[in-house]
Amino acid sequence: MKLLPHYIEMLSFIEDEIVKVRITTSKSGIKAAATLLVTTVDHAQGIRFLLERTAYPSASALMRVLFETYIRAMWLWKCADDNQVDSFINKDKVISKDGKTIYFKDLVKAVEHAHNFPEYLSKIQGNTWEGLNSLTHGGAIQLHRNFDGKTIQHCYDEELINELIEFSTILACMAFAGIMDLCAHKNGAEVSEKLFQLVEPWALNKLNKSDTEL
């Protein structure tokens, strides 16, 4: 796991900065978004702890949770109106403005549009969703990654573990950038640049690949 030390360093940097953040607002949507963005970072930390203990099935199962938490946070921030925010907070439901259920892929598209993002997140959702579901829900991918044909054992090679780390790194960094924007950090641009310099040499190459897969 040659990328794990870099991943740990990146998360330590983020945690050191998050403790300095203060978000003062009366808007429920903003408070909920900030909470879920921090929770996204917590999930990334959970993946780190599991990887350190070679609990690869559990670490990979958290990837979908990490992705969903980030998307819901960003949706609450700029996409949801007061009624949608209330429905999410008090009923645990994600609904459209006319009260219908929203599919996750549509949440992703809404987030990209509202935040003026490129279609990177849609590509992640489109190319990895079935794999993420299989990993989270104990599907065939978990079966094949934990049985070598004769023995029940981990079959997660270095490449797969590094892809897991890169995937988690990108989402943790995006969550951190969102937190910096929400709190209007006076040195936010400088801090974000330091984080970029920290991860760019080993993780951000994934941002340029349209065929992201797990």
User: Would you list the domain boundaries of the chain?
Assistant: 4-208
| In the predicted structure, residue 17 carries a pLDDT above the cut 70 | yes
> What pLDDT score does 104 carry?
95
Mean pLDDT of 41-64: 97
Averaged confidence pLDDT in the chain: 91
Q: b/e per residue, 12-33, with b = 16+ CB within 10 A? A: ebbeebbeebebeeeebbbbbb
Per-residue pLDDT band for 206 (boundaries 50, 70, 90) equals low
Mean pLDDT of 89-103: 95
Burial of 137 (0-12, 13-18, 19+ CB in 10 A): exposed
> What pLDDT score does 140 carry?
96
> What pLDDT score does 210 carry?
40
- Range name among 111-125, 149-163, 191-205 with the lowest pLDDT average: 191-205
